[in-house]
Amino acid sequence: MSIPIKKIYVDGSVIEEPLTERVLENAPGIPEEIIDVEAFQERVADQLTLSQGKRVLFITGQKGDLVKPCPGTLAPYLCCRYTVINQIIQCPMDCTYCVLQEYLDSPVMILHTDMDDVFEDIDGLLASQPGRFFRFGTGELSDSLVLDHVTELTRDYARFFSEKRNALIEFKTKTNRVETLLAVSPKNIVVSWSVNPQPIIDTDEFFSARLEERLDAAGRCQDRGFLLGFHFDPILYTPDWEALYHPLIQQLFSRVDGSRIAWVSLGSLRYPPRLKEIVLKRFPRSRLFYEEMIRGMDGKMRYPKPMRVEMYRKIFGWLMEKAPDLFVYFCMESPDVWDRVMGTHPASNAELDFWFARSLHRRFPELELDSPNRASYTAS
Ligand code: SF4
Which residue owns the Cα nearest ligand 1 atom 7?
A: 98
Cα–ligand 1 centroid distance for 238 (angstroms): 20
CA angle 368, 70, 363 (to 5 degrees): 25
Task: Please indicate whether residue 88, judged by its CB atom, sits closer than 6 Å to ligand 1.
Answer: no
**Which of 54, 84, 88, 91 is the pocket-test mutation for ligand 1 (most atoms within 8 Å of CB)?**
91
pLDDT at 74: 80
**Confidence class for position 64, pLDDT limits 50, 70, 90:** low
Task: Please indicate whether residue 50, judged by its CB atom, sits closer than 6 Å to ligand 1.
Answer: no
pLDDT at 4: 81
Region 32-58: mean pLDDT is 96
Is a pLDDT exceeding 70 seen at residue 34? yes
Cα–ligand 1 centroid distance for 143 (angstroms): 6
φ/ψ of residue 146, rounded to 5: -65, -30
Task: Please indicate whether residue 201, judged by its CB atom, sits closer than 6 Å to ligand 1.
Answer: no
Which residue owns the Cα nearest ligand 1 atom 8?
A: 98
Task: Please indicate whether residue 94, judged by its CB atom, sits closer than 6 Å to ligand 1.
Answer: yes
d(CA 321, CA 218): 20
Helices of type H across the chain: 18-26, 37-39, 50-53, 100-103, 115-128, 148-151, 153-162, 198-204, 211-223, 241-255, 275-282, 305-322, 335-342, 349-363, 374-378
Task: Please indicate whether residue 23, judged by its CB atom, sits closer than 6 Å to ligand 1.
Answer: no
d(CA 27, CA 147): 11
CA nearest 196: which of 214, 178, 184? 214
d(CA 353, CA 380): 11
Task: Please indicate whether residue 95, judged by its CB atom, sits closer than 6 Å to ligand 1.
Answer: yes
Cα–ligand 1 centroid distance for 357 (angstroms): 27
Task: Provide the whole-model pTM.
Answer: 0.96
Task: Please indicate whether residue 174, judged by its CB atom, sits closer than 6 Å to ligand 1.
Answer: yes
Is a pLDDT exceeding 60 seen at residue 380? no
Strand 83-85 to strand 88-89: parallel, antiparallel, or no bridges (unpaired)? unpaired
Burial 293-302 (b: 16+ CB within 10 A, else e): beebebebbb
Mean per-residue pLDDT of the chain: 94
Q: What is 60-104+114-379's CATH topology?
A: pyruvate-formate lyase- activating enzyme (3.80.30)
3-state secondary structure of 27: coil
The percent of residues above 70 in pLDDT, for the chain, comes to: 98
Cα–ligand 1 centroid distance for 355 (angstroms): 27
d(CA 153, CA 144): 9
Task: Please indicate whether residue 293, judged by its CB atom, sits closer than 6 Å to ligand 1.
Answer: no
pLDDT tens for residues 212-254? 999 999 999 999 999 999 999 999 999 999 999 999 999 999 9
**Confidence class for position 125, pLDDT limits 50, 70, 90:** very high
pLDDT tens for residues 69-118? 888 878 888 888 999 999 999 999 999 999 999 999 999 999 999 999 99
pLDDT at 379: 56
**Confidence class for position 62, pLDDT limits 50, 70, 90:** confident
Poorest-confidence range of 64-78, 255-269, 299-313, 332-346? Answer: 64-78
Task: Please indicate whether residue 143, judged by its CB atom, sits closer than 6 Å to ligand 1.
Answer: yes
Do 165 and 366 meet the contact criterion of CB atoms below 8 Å apart?
no
Cα–ligand 1 centroid distance for 122 (angstroms): 25
DSSP secondary structure, 280-321, as one string: HHH-TT--TT-S--EE-TTS-EE--HHHHHHHHHHHHHHHHH
CA of 142, closest atom in ligand 1: 3
CA of 97, closest atom in ligand 1: 7
Cα–ligand 1 centroid distance for 379 (angstroms): 34
Which residue owns the Cα nearest ligand 1 atom 2?
A: 143
d(CA 14, CA 6): 20
CA of 141, closest atom in ligand 1: 3
* DSSP secondary structure letter of residue 92: S
pLDDT at 78: 86
